[in-house]
């Protein structure tokens, strides 16, 4: 699959790297410096067979190159620089003004937004709606970009996209064409898809990556306390790759997470906590819990670097996520 025409990220631009090392990198599928940043020096060395010291040297050089062109932040910058950059950060509407306000304007790029909740609370509905909204013009809450949907629970439904896009005045077939779907059948397959996602993101103008859900395959395969350590290590590696992907490619990452019973933690009278333990708790930028409230849903911001802990009401209809009694404003 071909990359975009911008050759400034090509590994051919790396200096003091031998032809043999470059050949090994390309043979292993590393053509862009972005790939090197996303996977990190240990994974690059493992996949390509190059010496770990060479891998670190190449990684640091790629990092410096991307810093120089402003794709990632320099090592030391004044806080004012970050402040003004964040003023212009990309955001994707959820389809609900209430939900957008909870997020400070929408699903944020260069970040991971984690949606937790029981079955039927609207996690997958939010994912489907976001796939449509990201394709809208900037004035309508989109980024004029496409979506990558990684489906681990067999929940993606093109019919739902057709309904949402039609009611939001978008061509349904074109909208479907702009969504790349990857079904993961095992945790190892999930990891393979993530390792190959960079090429899809670069070549398909992806602005939103969805993982629905992040934990499902790991919970089904790693059963019992004896398997917990390996599960958490692999999950940790996966989520940190996703974190680097969000930052390097300037995309929004929306992932869903399951919940589990927890007598010691209570959410509005229900004793649940997000699955994945501290690995997930420390990795997501924003964590939101969903719960049912009659025919509506309630979303509560429970973890954020700067949002207050608050909650809003939204609903689910034919047009996807929206505000209660507000379909006329679509």
Residue 264, pLDDT score: 59
Where does CATH 1.10.150.20 sit in the chain? 7-68
Q: Can you give the length of the chain in residues?
A: 330
Residue 39's H or E segment, with its range, is helix 33-48
- pLDDT at residue 252 above 90? yes
Tokens representing residue 270 in the block:
């229900």
Residue 175, pLDDT score: 95
pTM score, two decimals? 0.86
Give bridge partners of residue 10 from the DSSP assignment: 32
CATH superfamily, region 89-329: P-loop containing nucleotide triphosphate hydrolases (3.40.50.300)
Query: Of 43-47, 66-70, 217-221, where does mean pLDDT reach its minimum?
Result: 66-70
How deeply is 225 buried, as exposed, middle or buried, from its count of CB atoms within 10 A (0-12, 13-18, 19+)? exposed
The average pLDDT across 307-316 equals 92
What is the C-alpha R_g of the chain?
20
Dihedral angle sign, alpha carbons of residues 217, 206, 57, 76: negative
Where does CATH 3.40.50.300 sit in the chain? 89-329
Instruction: Note whether 153 and 122 are within 8 A (CB).
Output: no
Residue 271 confidence class, pLDDT cut points 50, 70, 90: low
Tokens representing residue 81 in the block:
């620089």
Instruction: Give the model confidence (pLDDT) of 112-160 as tens digits.
Output: 999 999 988 999 999 999 999 999 999 999 999 999 999 999 999 999 9
- pLDDT at residue 13 above 90? no
- pLDDT at residue 179 above 90? yes
The answer regarding whether domain 7-68 maps to CATH 1.10.150.20 reads yes
The average pLDDT across 225-246 equals 91
Residue 330, pLDDT score: 45
If you ran DSSP here, which 8-state letter would residue 199 be given? H
Dihedral angle sign, alpha carbons of residues 104, 329, 95, 168: negative
Q: Percent of the chain beyond pLDDT 90? A: 56
* Between residues 9 and 114, the one the model is more confident about: 114
* Between residues 3 and 316, the one the model is more confident about: 316
* CA 202 vs CA 180, 256, 309, 321: distances in Å: 12, 23, 35, 28
* Residues 308, 324: Cα–Cα separation, whole Å: 23
Residue 145, pLDDT score: 96
pLDDT averaged over every residue in the chain: 88
Residue 187 confidence class, pLDDT cut points 50, 70, 90: very high
Residue 265, pLDDT score: 53
First to last CA, the chain: 37
In three state form, how does the secondary structure of 39-103 look? HHHHHHHHHHCCCHHHHHHHHHHHHHHHHHCCCCCCCCCCHHHHHHHHHCCCEECCCCHHHHHHC
Phi, psi (degrees; rounded to nearest 5) at 52: -65, -35
* Residues 50, 298: Cα–Cα separation, whole Å: 50
Residue 74, pLDDT score: 74
**Beta strand 286-293 pairing with 296-303:** antiparallel
Q: Which residues, including other chains, have CB under 8 Å from residue 240's CB and lie 6 or more apart?
A: 283
Residue 201's H or E segment, with its range, is helix 187-203
């Amino acid at each position: 699959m071909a990359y975009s025409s911008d050759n400034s990220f090509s590994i051919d631009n790396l200096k003091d790297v031998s032809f043999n090392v470059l050949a090994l990198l390309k043979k292993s599928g590393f053509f862009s410096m972005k790939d090197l940043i996303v996977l990190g020096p240990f994974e690059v060395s493992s996949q390509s067979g190059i010496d770990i010291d060479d891998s670190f040297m190449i990684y640091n050089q790629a990092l410096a190159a991307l810093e120089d062109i402003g794709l990632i932040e320099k090592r030391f910058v004044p806080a004012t620089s970050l402040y003004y950059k964040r003023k212009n950060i990309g955001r994707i509407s959820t389809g609900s003004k209430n939900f957008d306000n909870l997020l400070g304007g929408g699903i944020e790029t260069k970040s991971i937004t984690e949606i937790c909740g029981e079955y039927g609370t609207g996690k997958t509905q939010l994912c489907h709606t976001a796939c449509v909204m990201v394709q809208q013009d900037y004035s309508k809450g989109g980024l004029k970009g496409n979506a990558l949907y990684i489906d681990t629970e067999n929940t993606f439904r093109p019919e739902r996209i057709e309904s949402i896009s039609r009611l939001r005045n978008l061509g349904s077939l074109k909208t479907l064409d702009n969504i790349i779907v990857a079904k993961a059948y095992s945790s190892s397959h999930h990891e393979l898809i993530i390792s190959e996602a960079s090429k899809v993101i670069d070549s398909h103008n992806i602005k939103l990556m969805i993982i629905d859900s992040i934990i499902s395959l790991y919970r089904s395969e790693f059963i019992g306390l004896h398997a917990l350590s390996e599960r958490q290590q692999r999950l940790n590696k996966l989520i940190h790759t996703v974190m680097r992907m969000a930052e390097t490619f300037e995309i929004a990452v929306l992932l869903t997470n399951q919940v589990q019973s927890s007598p010691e933690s209570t959410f509005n009278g229900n004793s649940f906590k997000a699955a994945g333990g501290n690995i997930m708790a420390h990795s997501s930028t924003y964590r939101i819990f969903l719960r049912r409230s009659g025919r509506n849903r309630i979303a509560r911001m429970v973890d954020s670097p700067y949002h207050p802990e608050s909650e809003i009401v939204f609903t689910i209809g034919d047009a996807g996520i929206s505000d209660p009694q507000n379909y006329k404003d679509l």
